[in-house]
């Protein structure tokens, strides 16, 4: 079966109730403020290259105002409020997000290109759950860290990437507020819209002015925020290159820093695994969200005895993948987030061919407008190949084989990254044995890309440090006074 043979009627999610302003200002001190730069940039829909809205580009003066507003709100209101009261605001925000979940999901898909099935079933419910989860901790910090006298840190600068815009915002803002900090958040330039909708939700929830400030812009706005002397804590999710830059910018300051960076995660299939289940798991691990997932299982290791069978099944399965309009409920693979990212992925695909690997892409209909990339498999990949070592951040899977457990653990750990790993086997002892040896912040067994607000998430090595999620995620926003 080929996706050329799919003759599904279109099933698009309606955009009728989406209310977008033509122009978005900066959200500072509880209200919308025009940027001092007087500059705006376009936010595009990557599925068809249409302009969705204009977004303000914050400069030094705007960042100064946002940080001052967060400082005032911290000093005068938020740090004095009881945990139970802070929790009530967080619950209110969570409920409002839930009420508006359809609108948020459509907006996330329009702005970022991810399939509506994912934004509707994964991104938005998880973002709401993070607020519900951390709302519950707000009045229990002393119990969570008994004897350690936890207290808030102050003003948190938070910088998020474009792959899970609202979810990454929730990972950052929910624990920060629960712990009594105020925030200035800089979303990614291609996907600011759900953060700006979130600002409207803060207003509707009656959150005191200045507790949450949203400054939009490019990397330069993020750099100004990082450099601001009145910021006490920086939480960054994004590329390892920018993470290293931020780390250097913090040297010699008292700023606390957590970094969630890139990955090149290993997905390991042992010969005793349930093959069909594993094949679906591999597809989910790398093609979910077009491979725009920091922990994507982008390096597949298959035990030699079953390698041919797994590769054949993967190729067959890829023929039935549906690529197209992200708003269509049938779509499995949506649009690549930006032209720039599509060009990066295409460069890596060309590199893989020139490095001597064998390429497979299914024959399928591709949209004529917008940024799309076929799901791509590479076999005959050398361990030293750049496509097996460097993060591609797209729907590209490298496949290597192995004979023994020792060999695959060594190959999997031979990476500058260490964000996640997957193990597929019928034997629990192998899961625990190998799981302990893999240098990865998360190890999934017989599943992949499963997230929960109560589970900590974070990396080893160049994938960053600090944990987000769970009780661990609280400590990134607290200082201890023992």
Ramachandran area for residue 246 (φ above 0: left; ψ -120 to 50: alpha; else beta): alpha
260 is catalytic: yes
The residue among 154 and 464 lying less far from ligand NAP, judged by its C-beta, is 464
The residue among 154 and 291 lying less far from ligand NAP, judged by its C-beta, is 291
86's tokens: 């802070």
Give me the least distance between CB of 111 and ligand NAP, in Å please: 12
Interface with ligand NAP, residue 391, by CB under 6 A: yes
Do the Cβ atoms of 479 and 179 come closer than 8 Å? no
Do the Cβ atoms of 265 and 392 come closer than 8 Å? no
Interface with ligand NAP, residue 262, by CB under 6 A: yes
SS3 of residue 15 by DSSP: coil
CB atoms within 10 A of CB 290: 33
| E runs forming strands in 57-181 | 150-152, 155-159
Q: Which does 59 bind (CB under 5 to 8 A by kind): ligand NAP, Mg ion, none?
A: none
The residue among 73 and 223 lying less far from ligand NAP, judged by its C-beta, is 223
Residues with Cβ < 8 Å from 478, sequence gap 6 or more?
A: 141, 145, 150, 151, 152, 153, 179
The residue among 45 and 331 lying less far from Mg ion, judged by its C-beta, is 45
Buried b (16+ CB within 10 A) or exposed e, 340-349: ebbeebeebb
Among 3, 190, 213, 379, which residue sits at the site for Mg ion (rule: CB under 5 A)? 190
Q: Which residue stretch of 36-44, 125-133, 199-207, 254-262 sits at the interface with Mg ion (rule: CB under 5 A)?
A: 36-44
Determine which helix (DSSP H) or strand (DSSP E) holds 442, and give its type and residue range.
Answer: strand 442-445
The residue among 379 and 463 lying less far from ligand NAP, judged by its C-beta, is 463
DSSP 457: B
Do the Cβ atoms of 75 and 67 come closer than 8 Å? no
Rounded to 5 degrees, what angle do the CA atoms 210, 212, 216 make?
110
Among 65, 124, 155, 159, which residue sits at the site for ligand NAP (rule: CB under 6 A)? 159
| From 260, 391, 462, 468, active-site residue | 260
| From 179, 202, 294, 295, active-site residue | 294
Give me the least distance between CB of 337 and Mg ion, in Å please: 7
SS3 of residue 242 by DSSP: helix
Q: If you count them, how many residues does the chain have?
A: 482
CA–CA dist 89, 198 (Å, integer): 13
Q: Which residue stretch of 21-29, 53-61, 184-192, 342-350 sits at the interface with ligand NAP (rule: CB under 6 A)?
A: 184-192
Interface with Mg ion, residue 43, by CB under 5 A: yes
Interface with Mg ion, residue 232, by CB under 5 A: no
Give me the least distance between CB of 99 and ligand NAP, in Å please: 27
Q: Which does 115 bind (CB under 5 to 8 A by kind): Mg ion, ligand NAP, none?
A: none
Q: Which residue stretch of 110-118, 120-128, 228-236, 250-258 sits at the interface with Mg ion (rule: CB under 5 A)?
A: 110-118
DSSP 323: B
294 is catalytic: yes
Among 25, 111, 260, 391, which residue sits at the site for Mg ion (rule: CB under 5 A)? 111
CA-based max dimension of the chain = 66
* Residues binding ligand NAP: number (CB under 6 A): 30
Do the Cβ atoms of 365 and 348 come closer than 8 Å? no
User: What are the distances in angstroms from CA 302 to CA 141, 291, 398?
Assistant: 44, 19, 11
Q: Which does 162 bind (CB under 5 to 8 A by kind): ligand NAP, Mg ion, none?
A: ligand NAP
Among 66, 93, 128, 188, which residue sits at the site for ligand NAP (rule: CB under 6 A)? 188
Q: Which residues are catalytic?
A: 260, 294
Question: Can you give the binding site for ligand NAP, defined by CB under 6 A?
Answer: 159-163, 186, 188-189, 218-219, 222-223, 226, 237-239, 242, 245-246, 260-263, 294, 391, 393, 419, 459, 463-464
Question: Can you give the binding site for Mg ion, defined by CB under 5 A?
Answer: 43-44, 111, 190
């Amino acid at each position: 079966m080929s996706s050329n043979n799919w003759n599904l009627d279109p099933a698009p999610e309606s955009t009728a109730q989406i209310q977008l302003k033509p122009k978005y200002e900066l959200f500072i001190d509880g209200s919308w403020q025009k940027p001092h730069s007087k500059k705006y940039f376009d936010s595009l829909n990557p599925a068809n290259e249409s302009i969705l809205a204009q977004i303000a580009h914050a400069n030094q003066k705007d960042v100064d105002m946002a940080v001052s507003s967060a400082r005032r709100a911290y000093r005068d209101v938020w740090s004095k409020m009881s945990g139970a009261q802070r929790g009530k605001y967080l619950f209110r925000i969570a409920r409002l997000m839930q009420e508006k979940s359809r609108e948020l999901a459509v907006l996330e898909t329009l702005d970022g290109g991810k399939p509506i099935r994912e934004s509707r079933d994964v991104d938005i419910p998880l973002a709401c759950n993070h607020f519900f989860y951390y709302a519950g901790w707000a009045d229990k910090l002393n119990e969570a860290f008994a004897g350690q006298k936890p207290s808030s840190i102050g003003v948190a600068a938070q910088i998020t990437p474009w792959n899970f815009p609202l979810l990454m915002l929730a990972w950052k803002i929910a624990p920060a507020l629960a712990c009594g900090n105020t925030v200035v958040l800089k979303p990614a330039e291609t996907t600011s819209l759900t953060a700006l909708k979130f600002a409207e939700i803060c207003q509707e929830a009656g959150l005191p002015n200045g507790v949450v400030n949203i400054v939009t812009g490019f990397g330069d706005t993020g750099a100004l925020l990082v450099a601001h002397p009145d910021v006490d804590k920086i939480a960054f999710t994004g590329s390892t290159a920018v993470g290293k830059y931020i780390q250097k910018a913090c040297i010699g300051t008292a700023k606390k820093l957590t970094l969630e960076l890139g990955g090149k995660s290993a997905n390991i299939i042992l010969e005793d695994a349930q093959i069909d289940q594993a094949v679906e798991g591999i597809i989910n691990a790398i093609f979910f969200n077009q491979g725009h997932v920091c922990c994507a299982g982008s390096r597949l290791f298959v035990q030699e005895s079953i390698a041919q069978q797994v590769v054949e099944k993967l190729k067959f399965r890829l023929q039935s993948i549906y690529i197209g309009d992200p708003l269509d409920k049938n779509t499995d693979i949506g649009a690549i987030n930006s032209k720039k990212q599509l060009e990066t992925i295409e460069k890596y695909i060309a590199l893989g061919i020139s490095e001597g690997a064998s390429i497979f892409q299914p024959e399928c209909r591709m949209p004529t407008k917008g940024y799309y990339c076929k799901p791509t498999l590479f076999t005959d990949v050398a361990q030293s190949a750049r496509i097996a070592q460097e993060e591609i951040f797209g729907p590209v899977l490298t496949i290597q084989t192995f004979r023994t457990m020792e060999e695959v653990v060594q190959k999997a750990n031979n990476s500058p990254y260490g964000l996640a790993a997957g193990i597929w086997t019928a034997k629990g002892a192998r899961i625990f044995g190998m799981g302990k040896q893999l240098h990865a912040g998360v190890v999934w067994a017989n599943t992949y890309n499963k997230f929960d607000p109560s589970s900590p998430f974070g990396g080893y090595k160049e994938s960053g440090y600090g944990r987000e999620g769970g009780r661990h995620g609280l400590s990134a926003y607290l200082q201890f006074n023992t």
